[in-house]
Amino acid sequence: MFSTKLHEALASKKPFISDRMNSVGISVAFLINIIHWITLYIKIKPTEEQLLLHYNVILGADFIGRSLYLYWIPLLALVLLFVNLILAIRFYRKEKLASYFISFSSIPVQLVFFAATIVLIFVNE
């Protein structure tokens, strides 16, 4: 059953966005990024206050700076999401399966960045 559904999806001529497999992966990753921004804004406001920006288990706190710099983490995650989106669109024309892998790989990338932010939020509270 799964193989027939996959074969039908690979053989279809739908545009990238209307393909359900791609839209689910990109949409979930984008939703995680939005939650990332909202969580960071609720917990840590962008101010001139000095906060811990990097924490190492062995050395402890090793980089302290303005809280505004914490917002680079979801921004970098968003940039990587757009890079994955562009790559998935380009691969979709020639190899749909690669496009699906790229679309769904955006989800763990967003989760890793979100986890890093959650750790920094807990360390700074």
Summarize pLDDT for 53-73 with one digit per residue, the tens: 887 778 777 778 888 888 999
Question: Rg of the Cα trace of the chain?
Answer: 18
Q: What is the mean pLDDT of the chain?
A: 86
Provide the pLDDT for residue 11: 56
SS3 52: strand
Q: Where are the domains of the chain?
A: 2-124
pTM: 0.81
Provide the pLDDT for residue 108: 97
pLDDT at 114 over 60: yes
Of 8 and 57, the structure prediction assigns the larger pLDDT to 57
pLDDT at 10 over 70: no
